[in-house]
Amino acid sequence: MPAGLIDATTLISFWKAGSVDVLATVFGGQPPCWCAAVKSEIERGPRQQSQDLLDCDWLAATAEPDDLVEVIRLRAALAKPGDKATAHLGEAESIAIAAKRNIVFVTDDFAAYDFATRKMKPEHVWDSVRVLQEAVTLGALTADEAVETVQSIRDNGRYLRRTHPDPFTIIDFSRR
């Protein structure tokens, strides 16, 4: 299993669904990591969510980008007119690091996912559904549990990338 770098959108979605440890299981041999901007975004979030995610002992050390100019360029490419200067910084840092290290980048952010598939090898850009498919393949979750996780993510006000059907069925996780 390749190493993974996880964006805040996915970390928060799995936390809200009570399934954050699925991320650790899927990347088992090489603990997933996060970049400084994503960690900072998590730290600014609701206190219980922040504390729970910061306490994840399986979440590897913060990854630092080698090229800050590349991060700024990527952030500018992801930004829309009027966005705050820090908007998309976590996604930009994550993409820069993942591309350089040839590791998996996990995000449910629509724009970041689409952009990353053009910047990196498409098979190294995952979303929550891909993580859950891998968990089913590894035997860490049943297809039913994966569907329940998807529903819990949605029930908690989070979203999946728009390419995924609603409602999910067991078939969506059984055909891999």
At 10 the pLDDT is 92
CATH number assigned to the domain with residue range 4-128, chosen from the 4 options 2.40.10.10, 3.40.50.1010, 3.40.50.720, 3.40.605.10: 3.40.50.1010
Q: Which parts of 17-88 fold into alpha helices (H)?
A: 21-26, 36-43, 47-54, 68-78
Q: Which tens digits make up the pLDDT trace of 93-102? A: 999 999 988 9
pLDDT digits (tens, 9 = 90+) for 34-79: 888 888 888 888 888 888 888 887 776 677 777 888 888 888 888 8
Average pLDDT over residues 127-143: 91
Instruction: Check whether 143 has a pLDDT greater than 70.
Output: yes
Residue 75 sits at φ, ψ, to 5 deg, of -60, -40
Q: Does the pLDDT at position 1 exceed 60?
A: no
Helices then strands, each counted (H, E), the chain? 10, 5
DSSP secondary structure letters along 137-164: HHTSS-HHHHHHHHHHHHHTT----TTS
State yes or no: pLDDT of 137 exceeds 70. Answer: yes
- Give the integer Cα–Cα distance in Å for 148 and 129: 12
Kindly state the DSSP code that residue 20 receives in the 8-state scheme. T
Token pair 């959108």: residue: 9
* Torsion sign across C-alpha atoms 50, 51, 52, 53: positive
Does the pLDDT at position 122 exceed 60? yes
Higher-pLDDT residue of 69 and 167 is 69
Distance CA 12, CA 26 (A): 17
Element (H, E) at 114: helix 110-119
C-alpha closest to that of 12 among 46, 63, 37, 59: 46
For the entire predicted model, the pTM comes to 0.86
